[in-house]
Amino acid sequence: MGFIRSQFKRDARGALRKYYGLALLVCLFACLIEWQIGDIVHSPIINMDSLANSCLNFVRNIIGRLIDGEFYTPVHTQLWIEQNQITFDVTQSRELVILSAIILLLIIYSIYVKGPFLVGINRFFLLGRATTEEETPVSNEEKALDLSKSEDAESNKAKRPKLRELFFAFKNNYRHCGVTMFLSQFYVVLWMLLFLVPEIILFVVSHYISFSFLVLLIIILLLSIGSVIIGTIKELEYSMIPFLLAENPKLERQAAFRMSKAMTMDFKRNMFLLRLSFIPWRIVALIPSALTFGASRLLLSPYIYATKAEMYVYLKEHAIAYRGIDKREFIDE
């Protein structure tokens, strides 16, 4: 079977019939841990506009003096800063300290809380996926036993995911899972900076060197698009890491990145199209979202998580068959 989006969704719907209510509870928990940094940095404690303008003006003045050739030695630089009084006032200094502390806390939160929980959430949906004969090989002896329907029902019930799976990473190589998840997200940001940093420099330099507005706009637009594209590609490339850790939390960090890259090779376009295929559902869920305080979007989340689990299993089997990945690397021994 090839990469068939409709098949993944069909299997996901079939699996969710067993535990949709429990999956909703898990997704509600996922929403709580996926809070955004913007909710903090835009709080009344920090005046981000003032702080950003001060930083931008400082960088702009530095680059302007560099272009004019006024910096020759560190002494010249220090004299210029003192003469032009390029400093942060007390309020801005306090805001900078608070922002730095918040960023540090978010890093700690991402490593020790968010990352391990994301591994547990993906494990929950991975265990909850539909079971077929091809996915669970049966020995000849078991076939000869002719198991009854009641025994099959008990077996299926036993395979239903439990809420305790959310805490799986906390009990299995906790710090390793958290750091690996954090690095997978941090690397995406670094790749995006390859385009964002030149964009910021170009924007600042444009205040001192005459550029055509249209040319400047086109360059900044192309750099922004490039940043989004490279960020999306790398995010898709690393997207299998939480599933890999959910199956084998002892998997080495380098191996996790290598296996995720191999699994998603030649499939990023299909994965992206699968992600886009949920847009109509998101639009439908967005309409009543204002009246239900986001509850309608929450109803869609289990469907998305379960579909990703189905996709992972396909990519895993394909990687074992065609990418030369040892099946034992997926197993926690």
Q: Please compute the mean of the pLDDT values over residues 64-86 and round it to a whole number.
A: 49
Task: Name which residue leads in pLDDT, 193 or 67.
Answer: 193
Q: Above 90 in pLDDT, residue 276?
A: yes
Query: From CA 301, how far away is CA 118, in angstroms rounded?
Result: 14
Q: Please compute the mean of the pLDDT values over residues 30-57 and round it to a whole number.
A: 55
Q: Phi first, then psi: give them for residue 283, nearest 5 degrees.
A: -65, -45
pLDDT at residue number 45:
46
Q: Above 80 in pLDDT, residue 191?
A: yes
Task: Name which residue leads in pLDDT, 300 or 62.
Answer: 300
Q: Please compute the mean of the pLDDT values over residues 270-283 and round it to a whole number.
A: 91
Residue 131 and residue 159 in contact, taking contact as beta carbons nearer than 8 Å? yes
Q: Above 70 in pLDDT, residue 56?
A: no
pLDDT at residue number 267:
95
Q: Above 60 in pLDDT, residue 144?
A: no
Residue 157 CA: distances (Å) to CA of 24, 132, 152, 185, 187: 18, 14, 8, 35, 39
Tokens of 109: 């939160």
Q: Above 50 in pLDDT, residue 42?
A: no
Q: Please compute the mean of the pLDDT values over residues 109-130 and round it to a whole number.
A: 90
Q: What is the pLDDT of residues 305-318, one digit of tens each?
A: 999 999 999 999 99
| Half-sphere exposure (Cβ direction) of 143: Cα atoms closer than 13 Å | 6
3-state secondary structure of 130: coil
Query: From CA 88, how far away is CA 68, in angstroms rounded?
Result: 24
Task: Name which residue leads in pLDDT, 275 or 83.
Answer: 275
- Indicate the burial class of 121 (C-beta count within 10 angstroms; 0-12, 13-18, 19 or more): buried
pLDDT at residue number 286:
75
pTM for this model (two decimals): 0.77
pLDDT at residue number 57:
57
Query: From CA 24, how far away is CA 45, in angstroms rounded?
Result: 34
pLDDT at residue number 331:
84
